[in-house]
Amino acid sequence: MTAQPLPFDPIARAATLWEEHVGPATVMGAVTSVMRVQQILQSAVDAALRPHGLTFARYEALVLLYFSRRGSLPMRVMGQRLQLHPTSVTNIVDRLEADGLVKRIAHPTDRRTTLVEITEPGRQRRAAATEAVTSVDFGLRGLTERQTESLTDLLAKVRRACGDFQ
């Protein structure tokens, strides 16, 4: 997994761009780094999944359904679990359904609710795609396990400060 080569040091750019103008360089450096790493991870995973006709978003949805009790969940619940806007869920399920990997079924008691159920082809696709994702070096090889935990902890602090986790 290799990111698009860059002809310059993005952190230096961030410092140049922001320092003294927008905020402390350290803060903007961190913000910029988060943005960039997310971009790297996203494109790496998407590249691995592309041969399987999936994106990370759709793959996550498939995994979520696969590990659910009945192989089906209300769309609302999917949105909560995947932290997506309801319309994003609609979009993703539309595409998965068009590929025959999931299907919408009626909720037995609440007629407002639509259940999304993973199909047999969907289960097979998930299995194949998981192999691809597993083989991805998330670039976190640059970190020891301890450092990875440290990274997660720091990000968790940020999220807590933002009201994430409830």
Q: Which of residues 65-124 bind DNA (CB under 7 A)?
A: 74-77, 79, 83-95, 104, 107, 109-115
Q: Which does 106 bind (CB under 5 to 8 A by kind): DNA, a copy of itself, none?
A: none
81: helix, strand or coil: helix
Per CB under 7 A, 129 contacts DNA: no
The burial of 122, by beta-carbon neighbours within 10 Å (0-12 exposed, 13-18 middle, 19 or more buried), is given as buried
Beta strands in 71-156 (DSSP E): 72-74, 102-106, 114-118
Interface segment toward a copy of itself; rule CB under 8 A; list 57-65, 86-94, 98-106, 109-117: 57-65
Residue count, binding to DNA (CB under 7 A): 32
Q: How far apart are CA 66 and CA 68, in angstroms?
A: 6
Q: Which residues make up the interface to DNA (CB under 7 A)?
A: 39, 43, 55, 57-58, 74-77, 79, 83-95, 104, 107, 109-115
